[in-house]
């Protein structure tokens, strides 16, 4: 716990500094969407996980990624600094919001890196908006309900706010209020309760070079990640040591001393920089 606490403090400090310097808002499909731009080079969009923010998901690796890319880090509907709409969260809506923001930023095409629920949004972008995608990185995500253990879905029969990682709650409450936090939690829960499979044909339709990444102790099953990578015409697969996002330093499993995040950035850069 001391290790997690120390890395969280560092994440919050980085978050506050970065927000003051680069945080901006855009009016996107009826909501105020928060985003940050770091670095320069080929655009790389970062899409955080459910219940999370830019920094609880990507705080450990964002500075390294900004050394080689123009990082566009986005907070999605009802998350972090971004506003909400009187409609459920959906991956289709998140994808439309991301594409609209890129249009407003005059970014015709980008690499898209999504983690967990952000990975589902990235899949939706790859399927619905192929013209906007250079390469995709789908981290710790799945395209079928059978891609994760049955206990995961049983948890949505009686979801408990107390089960939400405290580190997510603490970070969110530095940005917004308790009512907004509960709203985000409830909308995230409802979206996953209503999760519908993408078809094999949907995944096959993705023509962009795509890297599927999971940890060897992740939520998505290794067999599922292998199957998804084989459906893709330009699919690559990496199964790395770690739990859900641990392999790149996601805040829930953060370990300040771990070298895994630096190794992951090297793998990611190698994939993004290699000619298709």
Return the structure tokens found at 239. Answer: 């199964």
Cα(226)–Cα(214) distance, integer angstroms: 10
Taking alpha carbons only, the member of 256, 31, 212, 216 closest to residue 122 is: 212
How do the domains of the chain map onto residue ranges? 2-273
pLDDT at position 210 is 98
The CATH H-level superfamily of 2-273 is Alpha/Beta hydrolase fold, catalytic domain (3.40.50.1820)
pLDDT at position 170 is 97
Residues of the chain with pLDDT under 70: 1-21, 276
pLDDT at position 18 is 44
Return the structure tokens found at 240. Answer: 């790395």
The reply to whether the predicted model has a pTM over 0.85 is yes
| CB contact at 8 A, 207 and 234 | yes
């Amino acid at each position: 716990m001391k290790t997690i606490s120390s890395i969280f403090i560092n994440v919050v400090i980085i978050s506050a500094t970065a927000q003051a310097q680069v945080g901006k808002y855009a009016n996107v499909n009826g909501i105020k969407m928060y985003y940050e731009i770091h670095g320069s080079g080929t655009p790389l969009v970062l899409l955080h996980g459910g219940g999370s923010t830019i920094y609880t998901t990507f705080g450990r690796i964002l500075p390294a990624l900004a050394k080689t890319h123009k990082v566009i880090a986005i907070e999605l509907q009802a998350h972090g600094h971004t506003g909400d709409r009187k409609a459920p969260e959906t991956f289709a809506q998140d994808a439309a919001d991301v594409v609209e923001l890129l249009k407003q930023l005059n970014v015709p095409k980008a690499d898209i890196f999504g983690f967990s629920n952000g990975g589902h949004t990235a899949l939706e972008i790859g399927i619905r908006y192929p013209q906007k995608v250079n390469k995709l990185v789908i981290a710790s995500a799945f395209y079928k309900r059978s891609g994760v253990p049955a206990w995961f879905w049983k948890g949505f029969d009686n979801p408990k706010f107390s089960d939400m990682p405290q580190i997510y709650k603490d970070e969110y409450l530095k940005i917004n209020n308790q009512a907004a936090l509960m709203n985000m939690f409830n909308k995230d829960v409802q979206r996953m309760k209503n999760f519908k499979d993408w078809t094999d044909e949907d995944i096959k339709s993705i023509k962009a070079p795509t890297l599927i990444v999971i940890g060897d102790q992740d939520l998505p099953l290794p067999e599922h990640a292998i199957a998804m990578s084989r459906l893709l015409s330009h699919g690559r697969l990496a199964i790395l040591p770690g739990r859900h996002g641990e392999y790149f330093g996601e805040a829930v499993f953060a370990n300040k001393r771990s070298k895994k995040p630096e190794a992951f950035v090297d793998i990611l850069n190698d994939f993004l920089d290699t000619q298709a």
